[in-house]
Amino acid sequence: MKPLIGIAPLFDDEKKNIWMLPDYMNAIRHAGGVPVILPLGGSPEDMCAAVSVCSGFLLTGGQDVDPKIYGEKPLPQCGTPNENRDQTDYLILCYAMEHNVPLLGICRGIQLINAGLGGTLWQDLLSQTGTKIMHRQPPPRDVPAHDVEIVPGSPLHELLKTEKLAVNSFHHQGVKTAAPGVTVMAVAEDGLAEAIAVNGKDFIWGVQWHPEHMFFRDGCEMALFRELVRRSAAAK
């Protein structure tokens, strides 16, 4: 039986509705899993009931993570957070950590993993670091914006068998200080962490780029989803 992969829902602040980008769903399907959109908010008991049927998880992009999670006050450049998203994603992360369930975090997902485990974030890369790297590219979304250097010997290096990867980029925040027990697996040319793994867990990874927009044209991006599904199937 194919593993169920629970996907953290997106939320439209203006329309006040839950939605989902098809690319997340399609990437999971092509990797051999069954995507399931999880509820947003609700009681911890209800969320536990929902996540307990899943064999793996995908934390999606979305609103900026609330700076109070990592002990900071918001800067003017920080976007308006969504409390339900933060609470939902954190509960998913906690469940995955406690039960050693495979989880892949994308964009906001890597940031939530890091902040949720005690790390910090850059609230706005351009104003805080002065980076010259294009971390917020214009469309189309399936075109690379910059390269990342993959740390030799890291789990990501073992999976992809390469030390450099061209990635797309649609973010203005990022990992500042890695959380305790988190290993950086890839960095951009400006030193920004682009991929992380939680030590001691089979597969709790985060990537800053958006592989769901490039999986159909890049085998390395597809490999991330295949690994999530493979690990999820093995963990059932």
Q: What is the pTM of this model?
A: 0.98
Structure tokens at 81: 């957070």
DSSP string, 30-42: HTT-EEEEPP-S-
* Counted domains in the chain: 1
Structure tokens at 52: 């307990």
Catalytic residue (one of 135, 171, 210, 213): 210
How many Cα atoms within 13 Å fall on the side-chain side of residue 193? Answer: 25
* CATH assignment of the domain containing 30: 3.40.50.880
Catalytic residue (one of 54, 78, 107, 220): 107
- Residue 81: per-residue pLDDT: 97
Q: Where are the beta strands (DSSP E) in 168-214?
A: 174-177, 182-188, 193-198, 204-207
Structure tokens at 54: 């899943």
Q: Which amino acid, one-letter code, is at 193?
A: A
- Residue 235: per-residue pLDDT: 86
User: Among this protein's residues, is 72 annotated catalytic?
Assistant: no
User: Among this protein's residues, is 210 annotated catalytic?
Assistant: yes
CA distance 183 to 161: 18
SS3 214: coil
**8-state DSSP, 209:** S
The C-alpha R_g of the chain, in whole angstroms, comes to: 16
Catalytic residue (one of 54, 171, 172, 212): 212
- Residue 200: per-residue pLDDT: 98
User: Among this protein's residues, is 107 annotated catalytic?
Assistant: yes
- Residue 98: per-residue pLDDT: 97
Q: Which domain holds residue 74?
A: 4-235
Average pLDDT, the chain: 97
What is the three-state SS of 111-154? HHHHHHCCCEEECCHHHHHCCCCCCECCCCCCCCCEEEEECCCC
**8-state DSSP, 170:** B
The residues of the chain scoring below 50 in pLDDT are none
- Residue 86: per-residue pLDDT: 98
Residues 6+ apart with CB under 8 A from 20: 7, 9, 10, 37, 60
Structure tokens at 27: 């990437």
Give residue-wise pLDDT tens across range 67-96.
999 999 999 999 999 999 999 999 999 999
Tell me the Ramachandran region of residue 206: left when phi exceeds 0, alpha when psi lies from -120 to 50, beta otherwise. Answer: beta
